[in-house]
Structure 1
Amino acid sequence: MGQVVVAAHQSTRMVAGATIALLHAALFYGLLHMHARSSAEPSTPAVVRFVGEVTERVEWQPPEVDLVPPEIVASAPQLPPMVMPLARPAERAISLPAQPARSVEPTPARQPDRSAPVEVSSVEYLREPAPRYPPQSRRLREQGLVVLRVLIDEAGKARRIEIQSSSGYARLDAAAREAVERAAFRPYIENGAPRQALVLIPIEFSLQRGSA
């Protein structure tokens, strides 16, 4: 047992010695190689310069850049958005049934009021008035013109006698009235029918003419 330990210890020492020998050999080879290289290259002296304090300040300047003016593009004015009116839907035409045409009856012509007398400028006589000169008026030399307003009915008779203009003498006015009452007239005809008529009848009393 003691022999084995001694042998192992000796073996370890031998390995360590071999390793040290190899390291020395490698170091020696390296020194030789460096000496040979240094002898082949010429030696240049090393120069060391002292740089004093820099008094001048160097300002940094930006590199020059060619500036190209930007192109100005005229922009169209902004218009408000156009609002289009919404199209209304077309109204549906509603066809109504045709109404039958109403027959328009002609309005009857307005019939004149035949109860009211119509004024006329003259009348036709069936028997003309024959005034009698009052004897008292003849002696007193009374004369003048009497105008009577006479209403003649549909039968041709004098229904009303009024003095429109007096002669100035009552006897002559009364004589003119009596003469018209005795006269006979032709009825006034309008549209084929007789109507009452108003007419002015003058009666003159004159001594020169010799009224009856």
Structure 2
Amino acid sequence: MTALELNGVRIFKGFLGREAQRALLDQVREAVRAAPFMRPVTPWGKPMSVRMTSAGRVGWVSSRQGYRYAARHPAGTPWPPIPPGALAVWEALSDWPEPPDCCLINHYGEKARMGLHQDRDEGEFAAPVVSISLGDAAVFRVGGTRRGDPTRSTTLESGDVAILGGPARLAYHGVDRVRFGSSTLLPQGGRINLTLRVVRVAPQA
């Protein structure tokens, strides 16, 4: 399958068909039952507009104590296993010999967005970040490895997969807005984004 490129980020349009999307969504719901969504707070005390949880060996969390990987959900329970459908995407597209340690699960509601940022808490930048979109379309913006680099935008739709790897592994990227109601995959609208990562740093309690 041919990938589009956006400032070095490879995007596989429609990689997951409708039935595969539904199956993966069911697996995500099972993971969320074990590790409920939360609304993280940034280190400077601002609540994020997205809701988050994780699956895998470790989970990514944010609080006034900073961004970090934790061994358990903030409620104290273990993180659930990474959904098999997400692992299948990793195996097909990552070109990395090991499975991911973390699957960050983000839920975007009608007004949610994600400012430009780098994924740099992992300690392993040779491994790619694999991002899977489910549900409503989103305007995805990608820059370079410096905050002031020029950016380009495209639309990510349900079933699309984006790969941040190689020179683009530390590219600044974000979601400007969600086109709420553009997909029927989630009955009440919204977007689910699964981000698979290899983590080398020791998790915190």
Return the TM-score normalized by structure 2: 0.20
Work out which of the two has the higher radius of gyration on C-alpha atoms and give 1 or 2: 1
- Higher normalized helix content (fraction of residues): 1
Higher RCO (CA-CA < 8 Å; seq separation 6+): 2
- Higher normalized strand content (fraction of residues): 2
Return the TM-score normalized by structure 1: 0.20
